[in-house]
Structure 1
């Protein structure tokens, strides 16, 4: 095993990683507000074009499992540069192709290579000093969240003004700029292992089995993200009916309200650095639970929905950053694989939440959605409380020893 270099983190470097995360994550969501224009260009049905976001998400899941662990095996700066360039190429193909089937393949590749963001987050934790790791991860996660939230809005505006192809071309150019910035500004980060690809994948299960803190964080994160996915999967349907009768553009604007959640990421990181991770996690889960109470009681008004979205996004970001700050202190030599395990479980939770959304809506519409969302949040809170203070104290102790 190779030792990591002692690297300081200038603020411009943190901003570069945050921007790279945001732009990579945004590329997954560019297609969502542009589906009508894509369908018109190719003369295809709405039923066919809605497969584009699905295959992009599927690509992300594949990349998460197959590419994310590679950060423990290859020099990270070079790896991130190559992923950014491959993502740029996939976006360019999506923007210029005249074939719908080629667009589908490009969408799959966009999802796969957008896992660049999941290389950068553990890299940020790897480069940061122990006393500032939470703050650095929080800032980088703020960039990722802003990319997810703002990416849809910008894509819709660009597509309306210049056409959907232009958004993919702009996205491609932005990833070329990201690759150049990574190459110029990020320090070299030697690999932590010389394991083969198969050995890397086979080591995921032993790591999960041997790290109770990782299992705890993954379970809490999965249930928290399930509630998050449940809400956002049904919001547009809810707003389209009485008493609102609003179009999809308005539901998209609710994403901007979630920018408040970006403010939670640095706060959670600072609390984790001060060894208050238990308090930060509890606050995030209580905020998440409160959101569904607000949705149930005051969701009949726009102001009530806005208040709930603020609580929801704030809570999810507190949970996410606190969990990641904790797990990145477990094994410095396996941070990429630890992040793979955590994010794969997190992603499964979100997928199950989105799937449960349609069932909940059919069974009881908005009240049932709020009830299931609250149940997910309370399960996450119960898992957290059941772990007890001793496990979370051991998390801090292990973080200190690994630095």
Structure 2
């Protein structure tokens, strides 16, 4: 493989490998959503109780983003990924064979903690790309990740209906073994760019979070957008179990397949970067996200209304997500894993909050409460973009401090 300054050149094979594996790994976090009704029935618990599985998975993912992903700047990344995959397999097997609710909670949390490998791939793609190909390459890897999120719901719904919910996690463990073999055989090694201690590494993460205005705004927009989408997907299974749908897990999971239409369209948003500014693309993306709630609320009793709403919410969220990442990866520093850590931790905290509030809203207000939560999150993202999206660049002295921290 060709190298440039001791770094592997990002060729088509490696780019597609990261794209496909991102989808396979991130899917572990979402298999549970269409299966919540089946799990609740087996353990004879309420919908609110079983919804904690999704919340804990997302909180675990946020913890993994905070404590594992920054190591991508400090350790050999291939070794880090291979080690992490061993723990992914273990967590999935515990989930598959859990006999008590607390075992499900613990396994769900650690599935989230360990399934963060895609967030090591994304900064790798940004770091190894030429400036003119950066948006496109990030978009491709993100498209794999997003397809994994959406298709996981479709796949798990079918498996759950025909083979039971436990079979899904057994299959997932097998796929992670295959992923380990592919990473071992094909992924190139990438030299770390941080030489200090783990404590200093985490200190630099906090420094970026405090001082990078562009990163702060992107993180808030992302958190609110993902919170909005999490609200609808976590409670959709409960909504469609009742009248007029009376749908099972496979039907609910198929909405993930429908949402893939929006995600695939979003993968091409980087191509508009030469005609429109990042600010404009994010503006239009959030407007699409907002418009989705009109269909999700007023079309709540029809398949066509929910289908249009799901396509729009995925298109709007994923477009803004890709452009958010393009925006903060333009910050002049090599600390790409740490920038991604700040953004993605906030992103999944937002998702966890959206999941929790939507579950509470469903219990007290039904689908109208879910739509209120999702619309509120979308409005907050839009207002943050309007008032802070064109913030000034960081002063030169702060940039020098950040560069010093990124190389320590």
TM class by shorter chain equals 0.7 to 0.9
- Could you tell me which runs of 5 or more consecutive residues in structure 1 were left unpaired when the two chains were aligned: none
In structure 1, the residue matched to 2:354 is 353
Looking at structure 2, the residues matched to 34 and 318 of structure 1 have their Cα atoms a distance apart, in angstroms, of 28
In structure 2, the residue matched to 1:281 is 282
Cα pair distance change 1:62/1:236, threshold 3 Å: same
In structure 1, the residue matched to 2:406 is none
Deviates more, 1:188-197 or 1:295-304: 295-304
Shift of 1:320: 0.5
Structure 1 contact 126–332 (Cα < 8 Å) conserved: no
- Quick check: 1:111 aligned with 2:135? no
Structure 1 contact 36–46 (Cα < 8 Å) conserved: no
Looking at structure 2, the residues matched to 300 and 159 of structure 1 have their Cα atoms a distance apart, in angstroms, of 24
SS at match of 2:325: helix
SS at match of 1:203: helix
Q: What RMSD over aligned residues (CA atoms) do the two structures have, in Å?
A: 3.1
Structure 2 contact 69–338 (Cα < 8 Å) conserved: yes
In structure 2, the residue matched to 1:201 is 202
Q: For 1:266-310, what per-residue CA distance to the aligned partner results, in whole angstroms no more than 9, with x for missing partners?
A: 212323466632222112111111111233444442212211111
In structure 2, the residue matched to 1:155 is 156
* Corresponding residue pairs, total: 392
Looking at structure 2, the residues matched to 259 and 201 of structure 1 have their Cα atoms a distance apart, in angstroms, of 35
Cα pair distance change 1:57/1:230, threshold 3 Å: closer
Looking at structure 2, the residues matched to 292 and 301 of structure 1 have their Cα atoms a distance apart, in angstroms, of 14
Q: How does 1:100-249 map to 2 (within 5 A)?
A: 104-249=105-250
Q: For 1:302-359, what per-residue CA distance to the aligned partner results, in whole angstroms no more than 9, with x for missing partners?
A: 2122111111110000010000112122144211111111111111222222233245
Shift of 1:25: 0.9
Looking at structure 2, the residues matched to 372 and 105 of structure 1 have their Cα atoms a distance apart, in angstroms, of 27
Shift of 1:158: 3.1
Structure 1 contact 8–129 (Cα < 8 Å) conserved: no
Structure 1 contact 233–354 (Cα < 8 Å) conserved: yes
Cα pair distance change 1:349/1:338, threshold 3 Å: same
Looking at structure 1, the residues matched to 13 and 331 of structure 2 have their Cα atoms a distance apart, in angstroms, of 27
Cα pair distance change 1:164/1:371, threshold 3 Å: closer
User: TM-score of the superposition, structure 1-length normalised?
Assistant: 0.85
Looking at structure 1, the residues matched to 99 and 296 of structure 2 have their Cα atoms a distance apart, in angstroms, of 44
In structure 2, the residue matched to 1:11 is 12
Cα pair distance change 1:32/1:389, threshold 3 Å: closer
Structure 2 contact 153–254 (Cα < 8 Å) conserved: no
Shift of 1:44: 4.0
In structure 2, the residue matched to 1:61 is 62
Cα pair distance change 1:348/1:185, threshold 3 Å: same
In structure 1, the residue matched to 2:255 is 254
Cα pair distance change 1:331/1:186, threshold 3 Å: farther
Looking at structure 1, the residues matched to 32 and 152 of structure 2 have their Cα atoms a distance apart, in angstroms, of 10
Looking at structure 1, the residues matched to 393 and 259 of structure 2 have their Cα atoms a distance apart, in angstroms, of 28
Shift of 1:49: 5.8
Q: For 1:53-72, what per-residue CA distance to the aligned partner results, in whole angstroms no more than 9, with x for missing partners?
A: 44433322221211111111
Deviates more, 1:332-341 or 1:56-65: 56-65
- Quick check: 1:26 aligned with 2:23? no
In structure 1, the residue matched to 2:321 is 320
Deviates more, 1:347-356 or 1:305-314: 347-356
Cα pair distance change 1:26/1:133, threshold 3 Å: same
Looking at structure 2, the residues matched to 145 and 298 of structure 1 have their Cα atoms a distance apart, in angstroms, of 25
User: TM-score of the superposition, structure 2-length normalised?
Assistant: 0.84
- Could you tell me which runs of 5 or more consecutive residues in structure 2 were left unpaired when the two chains were aligned: 404-408
In structure 2, the residue matched to 1:90 is 91
SS at match of 1:9: coil
Structure 1 contact 278–392 (Cα < 8 Å) conserved: no
